[in-house]
Chain A
């Protein structure tokens, strides 16, 4: 069955080592040229700045409650403040960082470049999507300064609809409005991928990042409206007393959980799938090898998007849901684990007989594979019925989803940012500090979240302001790790900003990478991306092993 190919019929194109005189960043300088831009690349930069700010805000909330958790007593914050901190951390990180991170920043920047288009299909809609995020973000800030929110990001009824004393209705509207940013971005990307690929760029010649974005867009379009409706219904119940979820009004609180997780589980894949796409690009580039099992990785993204819609009930094994429903959701959950495992094996095998370069993005990518493997395997613990009973709603769950969301998605986002930064800015950041920083983040991350697996297994429930003294050791380690992680996340801000002014000129292709964005675009790209519509006549990732770095 095995067949080996070398790609010696494809030449490595000439590189351009200088920056172009005119590019998308410098051809206009006015504020309106940014705030009213229809250029997908500038919109990507707007998203980058926006979500970086939200990431810092979300991180600040986490820093505050991690300090509270140093001691078992609730002594730094009062209980209500603590509850608001973890709620806002969840809301901000999920709706304003994780969901828009790779799709809206890297997706916006790269999608047209990778498929040889001049822009996305609907540039005005694209700008509008960013404004929706800004409106939603303004509402979130208003929410924070007018008393916050203390329902948990999950908004479970009847706590949210009847008992909470914070501004749940505003929070519901915030999530509702922000969701449209995600829906419209997904729609835009889906149409772009279908209609605007360069001549010759057939589906199986597409970079795997595009496959991942495609799968993500499907979930955004089909899933997000459901959470928007659900949260809005909860808001309506709260304000007008219409009984939908509150049993005292004739509603059903378990119905809320079904509707909420129908979106919010697939949303996990909105967060991780684009990360997987970025990892495929980076592993291929720095292995100097075509991705092993291209079709398997491509179809596993689609499989995850589809099966991911059928597993939501695994959040509800002890909710009062029927036992038989539990069986169905558990077996489907086991099935959805398989495509993720396939990806991990194919990425690893891509290194085989390649020419591996341990550049900064590759360090993040390798770190991603390891951490995502832990996140995925611990998902099995929670997906099987009998074992979820003790682990549900404990710190084991918190550790698991942070391994996927931070160890997976944030690492992938940082990998992608380090990979495409020279393309986005035309400047190269200093390598050694960046590599040290990647290691610091990896260590800090594990120190923060690994102890939480143990705290959870020992029985510590999540969302606890004060806790049993037996759990203190794990919380002290976790808080110490959060300090390291905080430093690790801050340093890149400085060297990225530094590189804008003092960084070496990157040239069109500093990594020796393959793909239209590297081979046919300058760094930074031209305002119109390509002077001539590119024609593609070969597979993705035709690496030969002889590509060299120029960093």
Chain B
């Protein structure tokens, strides 16, 4: 038996933060359970019934004790809630300047696309020491993207984007699993995450295809006729799209939202759901004409229109 059997590889900044919580809770559980077991056995033997001894049971009530053992678990529970909540805040709030990678899950494989258009299947190559953001969707059922060594996991849903981020801290190869049961070959829907030095990642990317998602999106934007209503500078029929990504937009019902990947996706696939204030719901639905990859490319293009140079 070696230590590797009990201590999983720790290869991301989140792993470094979450592991102390796990080990602290484990220590707490051991102390609690061992203490309780000892107490049960001790009391059970000390007060064992000896027939004929004439010792009568004494029923004790103690309000102070009741309140103490109600309050202490409550305080401990709230304490670990705060610890877990702080970590979760970190986990859910994606830092700026991430490397953005698209992920599409389908029965039973993971399709990955890098910013320059380079694709991988069931393999994810990322640079060490840089925050990576995954924007993920599914083509069929629910999946869940899970990298144990990074301690990160996020369900992947059809017709919707979910996001997750991590920063790898160790060069190496780590398993990738699907954690949400997704049908027959669920257990084989996995792969490998390769963490490489940033320079090596750039070199690896350079060997990729010529069309980036932004370029592919631009081509689609032209071929699908999006510019008819969304041409640069023209906001008469539909809102123009420059500078919109990441900015706030007011809807017809007065709601204010921040334009993100999910909103752009929804606006293409279900355009009448959230119409911008001042416009009528004219736009047709593109569900049947675009696949998930096309939409990802369009989102990348629309995002690029707001990029700060």
Binding site for B on A (CB under 8 A): 1-8, 74, 79-80, 83, 150, 152, 154, 156, 158-159, 162-164, 247-248, 253-254, 287-290, 292-293, 296, 317-320, 323, 326-327, 330-331, 334-335, 337-338, 341-342, 344-346, 348-349, 351-358, 366, 369-370, 373-374, 377-378, 380-381, 383-390, 392-394, 454, 457-459, 461-468, 473, 543-546, 548
Contact = CB atoms under 8 A, between A and B. Distances in A.
Closest 10 CB pairs of A and B: A459-B148, A386-B87, A384-B84, A385-B88, A545-B57, A247-B159, A355-B49, A334-B77, A351-B43, A390-B151
Nearest to A371: B33
Contacts of B32: 373, 377
B142 interface: yes
Interface in B20-40: 21-22, 25, 28-29, 32-33, 36-37, 39-40
A150 B183 contact: yes
A384 B83 CA distance: 8
A101 B133 CA distance: 47
B174 to A, nearest CB: 9
B83 A320 contact: no
B49 A381 contact: no
Interface in B227-261: none
B59 A4 contact: yes
A383 B83 CA distance: 12
B177 A387 contact: no
A548 B51 contact: yes
Nearest to A370: B37
Given A288-B49, A338-B74, A338-B77, A390 B57 contact: no
Given A2-B61, A377-B33, A466-B188, 20 more contacts: A5-B58, A7-B57, A83-B184, A163-B140, A287-B57, A323-B88, A323-B92, A337-B73, A338-B74, A351-B40, A351-B43, A356-B45, A369-B36, A373-B33, A374-B33, A378-B29, A389-B151, A393-B180, A463-B186, A546-B54
Contacts of B146: 393, 459, 461
21 contacts: A158-B141, A158-B158, A164-B183, A289-B59, A292-B60, A323-B88, A352-B60, A355-B57, A356-B44, A373-B32, A374-B33, A387-B84, A388-B84, A392-B153, A393-B144, A459-B175, A461-B146, A461-B177, A461-B178, A464-B186, A543-B57
B155 interface: yes
B153 A393 contact: yes
Nearest to A542: B59
A159 B183 contact: yes
Contacts of A150: 183-184
Interface in B113-158: 140-142, 144, 146, 148-149, 151-155, 157-158
B64 interface: yes
Contacts of A163: 107, 140-141, 183
B22 A387 contact: yes
Interface string B187-206: 11000000000000000000
Nearest to B180: A393
Contacts of A394: 179
Contact of B152 (A2, A288, A389): A389
A354 B57 contact: yes
A468 B147 CA distance: 13
Of B59, B60, B183, most buried by chain A (CB within 10 Å of CB) is: B59
Given A163-B183, A338-B73, A387-B22, A366 B44 contact: yes
Interface in B63-104: 63-66, 69-70, 73-74, 77-78, 80-81, 83-92
Interface in B269-293: none
B263 to A, nearest CB: 15
B159 A385 contact: no
A171 to B, nearest CB: 15
